[in-house]
Structure 1
């Protein structure tokens, strides 16, 4: 206590601008030394304490010395608004540092005997999802490593309710009845139970509560329709319930197979941590330390007894997940967070769907804040109240983000002095505060969030979430649950329909930069403050430019998201079986590596049908063979990479596909860890500036793109392999002898194939060998063409 009091006294002492700059620079240098040469919990606290002192010095100066005179009500009013925005950001910073100062890392749960494991009901709530997505999730849930007699998987279908089957629109009613019949049959084939209800009351919460009314397991597991669990999900989680009889929740992170609009359009999915990873890898672990980690709607286990005590899943707000956890924490129940990716899901593909999802989250958290204020909630410990308050007030970010975006324009266009400070003071206080703030955030979150990426996400959402916030403030009970669209098809480059406001803001900020430069260079009496404000506006311009890149939506590279894996299997084609390594898989296709020195260009052969049998992971039951079609083959050094597509999968085939794709949770963890490289402030700033400068050019180019017309696909017959392609107008080429018995030299691989031909045919695998020969002949032809001089 005495140390804190002494620190506050020192903090409040007035110092000169030069001394303030020296103190801030000394703090930066000390923090940098701690960062580079020392590590550990004590170093972490010292680092954050020193940074916090600089931030507090800035806030003290900001409140006492920089507001405009009250005699100028316009400048004073705008200045006060800017100050409130800054105070909000500092509040969020300090609350996040308190919560995340020492995130908890849980040890694995104890392993129980099969006889002691609890009965588990798995709920998969659905509304309008595609049957293929549901089949994959249900099959993955059924193949989890758990005694089958203690595991019941339920499809809770809100798209086939009696209300929908009796819709006044005959087409909608027929579609609902067909959906019900189809999904009922699908569940029967996959060993799941189909359940619907009379009416669509209380959205997802009502659907889950209907499941509770029919299920009887001790533990309830919830998976979103597009969240498929890995085989080890229950083995890594269910054991925690035996340790704590008051445990109501075990939450795991949401990991995704596909990029969100920011990641896809800026091409960062393979190299930058996803936006949600900071929340799941740091914040949820920080909340877990204080018994404050909460239910996130999916990938979670809940104790049935706790839900019964609270009357089921809460449904007053549209974020039933956080509301349910809020109620149970206040009743004295506890929670556990397991920081392991144990499911793989889908994110919204388009910017419009992304904004729609975040609007629902934002409105739901505001509903809880207004209807069930955590500060007034009985039963919560003080630190739990702070934890929930931080999670709810975070969604205020659109207000300060837009304030910071437009504030410099008031000085540039109207000469309003909303921030009274000299250039020297701005450097000594503001610039050092910004750098210190960046250092603390990069120190805590550097592996999970690149510099300035948070600002980009907040700006992109802020333009539209402001309306969502206003709707809740005006009518807290009015917002209704809306299902987020997933799996949208993006088959061509285009501008998002939400892009117009982003172009307007960019044009306004660009004009602001031009006016600031002109006034600073040519207008008499303009001080260096215009230069500082102009630089602030230029940073905002970079943010708006990067956002334009997000609005310029790129076409999808993959029609269905895939996961890099490391599995072994046997590929059977033409009656011959070959050992393969499966390297990447989606619900549509997979890529396998054939251990042979073969190459193909992917042309000159007909697709071949066959089967892929995968070696099961330890403890898993062997699954049936997957029907596949060999579509194309390419060469990678001495191996052949084959693309195998899955066509017309039967329900039982989804079990084999789920075993292949979701058999090993380490595949998702390896993918995440490859992206978790620390991004320092300098390189992160340069990357952000690159986006801000170049992405507007791509967005402008998209303005002039024409909408593609659907065209019939013309299938071009494959050229005979013994007739090389000849450029138009070129002199006729002499016939080339290729293939077995040809006089032309062949590679060692081709010679090996020649020797293997007759025995292979004897084994009934002539199609396989012929295909491999075609691959090699194509390679020889391609090499020969490359060596010829081009025709004049």
Structure 2
């Protein structure tokens, strides 16, 4: 059936190509293209599945192919004009790469699959599961919460085992020639062994740090026996329903090797934090997990993403375990198993909550590993040459891999206008009328197609902004792989950072340089219009392109102008009854929101009139999981009184690691919280409003980014040194505030496990964030 569908699509594309290459006048093309654009805009208002979806994609594809034909046959400068031809042909290749990626992505998401839920019934047979939590250098407190959440999943205790796979306490590290490394590894092993004993889970390490995460997971396989393996990153805490909502799919398909679920994050990435878009705009990963993975799933091409997944042991053992040839062991493992005839499934329900990098430098480090690993797969394990894959699967993997070549195209688009503005080179041979008829309609169709496919998970030009902020550094990372495909090594991304001062990122310099170069391009455009009025049309068109690039770089300035992070964890809005034990009194209360560090508790107005910040209280509540105790000690950090009662901003005063089970129960037990918060951000604002939003954001962030530059360099340098010193000392780098605390009340003494968004997850997206 899939093969017949593929043939149908192939025939349709052949027909469209034939029609796109027929000679027509400029006016006919323009009128036809505008009619098609209007039709697509109208069809956007109807159901985006089935036949109508195929019609929209076919219409959009026809305009794109028409542009490709014109661009290829009419606009490339002559070869004998090398000064024009070389940059012109590079620009042409960048455009053709973008068009090719558009076609691959349209194929991949042609008919996204929404799988029905297959929740395990209470009386169904429960297969055995080993839960692997690989770790390298994460804090004990973060691991305690993740392990506690995993241990408390709603699943029979005798049917699953939790393993903390510690790669930071290996024999190799204990025997290091560096005494500090050896001492730290020994202390880590001792602490984590005790942690695992206290929480009732298994501690496992190995002799040597071979093959990074893949080797660590394979060591787990060698020391366990369950039918299925669940993989959770050290900062990915599961909800109670994770196993019950994933294992049911394996029962209906004996050849299913993987059930992957989304990576949901409870803190903003650097773009979301610094641009303050976290609560109102879909997160970056929602485009991949909300649409692309479902599209890949239709072609049996959804792949393992390293965490939040369950895998069948039989399949892993057949292929020799987790693959370690590249530093993206997850996608490589899935590729090998798909080639062996195994199937995968994607379930679009967030059931884990994880952390993203907080600083721009760590964000780039994470993305560098991703792009290098995917390029390694292309060079060392090319899906187009791998036997056993279907044609759709090859195209799906190719789409996911080749996407990471975007830095070359993005940098080309960024600097191409300057060849004309600075040097007068003609790298794009076209009249103003041809540009209006072909290029303008092509751009409009692209915007409409993106909005049609991604409207609820990606706003206009946000992808371009994300790609721009990565391209400066990822281009170098890709070149390193091309030079030596086996050179890159796995590096763990630092999470849970706080920053004491607002400052320009240590990686921000190139963006300011590029901004001023593009600004000089605007000056050059004005000069050309004044000096050569006959070229005013071309100068305005190229200058407009350069102005759009300035908006992108202006947005990037806002990203690298990093706002301070004083909060240490994300608040989650909940409604749970509780009791407060204050002295010899028991007072009824309600938990209003929680974080991994504290809670905001509401009590009656007259119940605790004498309470003051710094006092210690006990909170008692009914946990969702059966626990040995339901009492959790708190330290009051702020007291806010009003006519409705008293709000206590409190810090968890954990003095026994087993109390982290209660913290995990409060924060991570209910996956419905993640779905509700996700739904508040997944909204289609439309093309026109989306473009206006982007322009407003870019202008504001340009001004903000330049204002950071105007600050004295010694101040920024001092701030950076202070943050680095705090990080190296393993102390909180800033005094964090806690859930429910007065935004102006700064407290000390908290461990850092996550960066805090200003809005509690679960609240309305219209809630005003703390600033």
TM-score, normalised to structure 1's length? 0.87
Q: Specify the alignment match of 1:198 in structure 2.
A: 207
Higher relative contact order structure (alpha carbons within 8 Å, sequence separation ≥ 6): 2
Q: Specify the alignment match of 2:56 in structure 1.
A: 47
| Structure 1 residue matching 2:215: 3-state secondary structure | helix
Q: Specify the alignment match of 1:492 in structure 2.
A: 501
Higher mean C-alpha deviation, range 322-331 or range 164-173: 164-173
Q: Distance in 2 between matches of 1:527 and 1:77?
A: 24
C-alpha contact 1:451 1:679 (8 A) present in aligned 2: no
Q: Specify the alignment match of 1:92 in structure 2.
A: 101
Answer yes or no: is 1:400 the counterpart of 2:406: no
Q: Specify the alignment match of 2:750 in structure 1.
A: none
Which of the numbers 687, 692, 699 marks the counterpart of 1:681? 687
- How far does residue 607 in structure 1 lie from its aligned partner after superposition? 2.8
Which of the numbers 687, 693, 697 marks the counterpart of 1:691? 697
Which of the numbers 602, 612, 628 marks the counterpart of 1:605? 612
Q: Distance in 2 between matches of 1:577 and 1:63?
A: 78
Q: Specify the alignment match of 1:427 in structure 2.
A: 436
Q: Specify the alignment match of 1:666 in structure 2.
A: 672
Which of the numbers 228, 232, 237 marks the counterpart of 2:241? 232
Alpha-carbon spacing, 1:38–1:282, altered in 2? closer, same or farther (3 Å): closer
Which of the numbers 651, 662, 673 marks the counterpart of 1:656? 662
Q: Specify the alignment match of 1:17 in structure 2.
A: 26
Q: Specify the alignment match of 2:637 in structure 1.
A: 631
Q: Specify the alignment match of 2:623 in structure 1.
A: 616
- What's the CA shift string for 1:701-740, capped at 9, x where partnerless? 22315235979x9xxxxxxxxxxxxxxxxxxxxxxxxxxx
- How far does residue 243 in structure 1 lie from its aligned partner after superposition? 1.3
Which of the numbers 132, 145, 154 marks the counterpart of 1:145? 154
C-alpha contact 1:254 1:280 (8 A) present in aligned 2: yes
- How far does residue 75 in structure 1 lie from its aligned partner after superposition? 0.8
Q: Distance in 2 between matches of 1:391 and 1:481?
A: 20
Which of the numbers 26, 36, 59 marks the counterpart of 1:27? 36
Alpha-carbon spacing, 1:580–1:93, altered in 2? closer, same or farther (3 Å): farther
C-alpha contact 1:599 1:634 (8 A) present in aligned 2: no
- How far does residue 598 in structure 1 lie from its aligned partner after superposition? 9.2
- How far does residue 571 in structure 1 lie from its aligned partner after superposition? 2.5
- How far does residue 577 in structure 1 lie from its aligned partner after superposition? 2.8
The aligned length equals 709
Q: Distance in 2 between matches of 1:231 and 1:254?
A: 16
Superposition CA RMSD, Å? 2.1
Q: Specify the alignment match of 1:305 in structure 2.
A: 314
| Structure 2 residue matching 1:194: 3-state secondary structure | strand
- How far does residue 40 in structure 1 lie from its aligned partner after superposition? 4.2
Alpha-carbon spacing, 1:3–1:117, altered in 2? closer, same or farther (3 Å): closer
Alpha-carbon spacing, 1:16–1:620, altered in 2? closer, same or farther (3 Å): farther
C-alpha contact 1:505 1:544 (8 A) present in aligned 2: yes
Q: Distance in 1 between matches of 2:324 and 2:536?
A: 57
Matches within 5 A, 1:249-264: 249-264=258-273
Which of the numbers 240, 251, 257 marks the counterpart of 1:242? 251
Alpha-carbon spacing, 1:585–1:467, altered in 2? closer, same or farther (3 Å): same
Matches within 5 A, 1:435-450: 435-450=444-459
- How far does residue 580 in structure 1 lie from its aligned partner after superposition? 2.9
- Asked which structure has the greater CA Rg, the reply is 1
- How far does residue 522 in structure 1 lie from its aligned partner after superposition? 3.5
Q: Specify the alignment match of 2:390 in structure 1.
A: 381
Alpha-carbon spacing, 1:5–1:461, altered in 2? closer, same or farther (3 Å): closer
C-alpha contact 2:16 2:58 (8 A) present in aligned 1: no
Q: Distance in 2 between matches of 1:637 and 1:512?
A: 59
- How far does residue 563 in structure 1 lie from its aligned partner after superposition? 2.5
| Structure 2 residue matching 1:47: 3-state secondary structure | helix
Which of the numbers 56, 60, 70 marks the counterpart of 2:79? 70
C-alpha contact 2:258 2:345 (8 A) present in aligned 1: yes
Matches within 5 A, 1:527-566: 527-566=536-575
Q: Distance in 2 between matches of 1:181 and 1:393?
A: 44
Unaligned runs of 5+ in 1: 714-792
- How far does residue 665 in structure 1 lie from its aligned partner after superposition? 0.5
| Structure 2 residue matching 1:235: 3-state secondary structure | helix
Q: Specify the alignment match of 1:36 in structure 2.
A: 45
Q: Distance in 1 between matches of 2:228 and 2:527?
A: 67
Q: Specify the alignment match of 1:344 in structure 2.
A: 353
Q: Distance in 2 between matches of 1:304 and 1:483?
A: 25
C-alpha contact 2:17 2:65 (8 A) present in aligned 1: no
- How far does residue 463 in structure 1 lie from its aligned partner after superposition? 0.4
Q: Distance in 2 between matches of 1:385 and 1:659?
A: 42
- How far does residue 643 in structure 1 lie from its aligned partner after superposition? 1.2
Q: Specify the alignment match of 1:589 in structure 2.
A: 598
C-alpha contact 1:227 1:346 (8 A) present in aligned 2: yes
| Structure 2 residue matching 1:655: 3-state secondary structure | helix
- What's the CA shift string for 1:155-213, capped at 9, x where partnerless? 11011111111111222211111111011000000011111111111111111111111
Q: Distance in 1 between matches of 2:15 and 2:226?
A: 57
C-alpha contact 2:281 2:682 (8 A) present in aligned 1: yes
Unaligned runs of 5+ in 2: 1-7, 727-731, 733-771
| Structure 2 residue matching 1:374: 3-state secondary structure | coil
- How far does residue 622 in structure 1 lie from its aligned partner after superposition? 7.0
C-alpha contact 1:352 1:497 (8 A) present in aligned 2: yes
